[in-house]
Structure 1
């Protein structure tokens, strides 16, 4: 199996590197796994059939990716190559994992099974890696900050609720209105981040907690439901932007 542009292949990208940097391509056929709903079954004496209770979440899932590797120039041993690949992939946090055959969608995952190469000859090897993946994947166009145009609705074209990240540069008391719900931020010094996915409010760094400056309706964070979403801001501010975090189930 030759590694060239004429062969149908897929690559993946994580962090600063593509799998092609290490001579890696994904073996076909490639089958994407899927998450399961977190459901609790309760047995009741005298009642036939368990009662099911949805826990309002989906479980993480395991994804194994089989790889074909052609040793790139500069590597004299397979062990050196495998070590560099694992140094790139191994981490203790979720990473954005781009698979070229998923097009505009991105997995959030971390490596649970490092790569062990099985050389076929001096230039070619096979192997696999295993990822632990979040149940939702994100759309690439929702991962970058963009300015909020309050004159137009923000449109969620997906069927899943999105959990955006807002960034406001301003001072004093600010009110954010999303779909008719008001979110108040008091005594802001210079900026504030409102992270609906992580349910965290902070300044500058993730660990600078500003939750004491916020008052939310029913303690719920703002979300974008499918369809049109209205967003307004009131107060002394100079920048108002957001990451939409558009998502869908894997």
Structure 2
């Protein structure tokens, strides 16, 4: 008797329990019991060790296959994140720098990056304080928030540059927020809804990842409206006083020279 393929199925006790401190939240994350996971790991290790036949091709699918593959994919591209952050930072600083040394907003490009980083730290701190576990996939969240934060900064600065330089800083800020806040709010809400929908998936790691992303988007929006807006107002005052955008020394703008 011969066979080209054999499928062996082993069913373990995948008990679940609600996470601590999340009883009042609609989302309930389930995690398998440590005993079931320990048995699964030991079984797979002994199974692979016992089958040393090189002619056999073994393919396994267990309760944590999807989670492990997603985690491995995230860790495999992690070394490239440093280069990505550097390129994004240079691009951001170059994009907000104009030919006019007074009207340029070079420091605001750096503020946009810092604001995104603070948003991720705030979201991580809140969720970890609430008892939500930290997984390897979450390390991709700060880089996603970096792109969202920089995009919001570009939208805000674009609205600022369309205002009249002769107006007061208060009036220019009002016009800037009236034009950009709607766009930023809509995109932030749609992003949050998209990520929160992902918390209803079957895989617990994807639930945690989407929860971290959803809260991170919310914190990115809050930090951008508050911190970035305040720094923009300070930069507007410096522009009103004809100060250099980097050295803060009094100079003449290119339009007056």
Question: Under a length normalisation based on structure 1, what TM-score does the superposition of the two structures give?
Answer: 0.18
Task: Tell me: higher relative CO, structure 1 or 2? Use CA pairs within 8 A at least 6 residues apart.
Answer: 2
Q: TM-score, normalised by structure 2?
A: 0.17
Higher strand share: 1
Larger Rg over CA atoms: 2
